[in-house]
Amino acid sequence: MALLITSECINCDMCLPECPNTAIFEGKKFYEIDANRCTECVGFYPEPTCVAVCPINCIIPDPAHPEEQTQLLEKFQQLNIISN
């Protein structure tokens, strides 16, 4: 499942450089995650790095984008084919 940054985000800039898929971007009020690019770091790391560095724990699973581990891996592979 893709991740979601809640409105509790304080725009601390910790998550932005951590995303290996460049799925995190600066929204109008707080950082946001592009669900089409978020793989929860599958293919890169064992855990989502944005969640690990968030000082206020405002990054949660996005209920609007449920995905199984295999789907996240397929998305990772597709993103890497496009970017290479």
Of the candidate CATH numbers 3.30.70.20, 3.40.50.300, 3.40.640.10, 3.40.109.10, the domain formed by 3-83 belongs to 3.30.70.20
Tokens of 9: 């985000």
Q: Where do the structural domains in the chain lie, given as residue ranges? A: 3-83
Q: Is the pLDDT of residue 78 over 80?
A: yes
Asked whether the whole model's pTM tops 0.75, one would answer yes
Q: Answer yes or no: are the C-beta atoms of 22 and 38 closer than 8 Å.
A: no
What number of other Cβ atoms are within 10 A of residue 65's Cβ? 15
Q: Is the pLDDT of residue 55 over 70?
A: yes
Which helix (DSSP H) or strand (DSSP E) does residue 31 occupy?
Answer: strand 31-33
27-45 residue pLDDT tens: 999 999 999 999 999 999 9
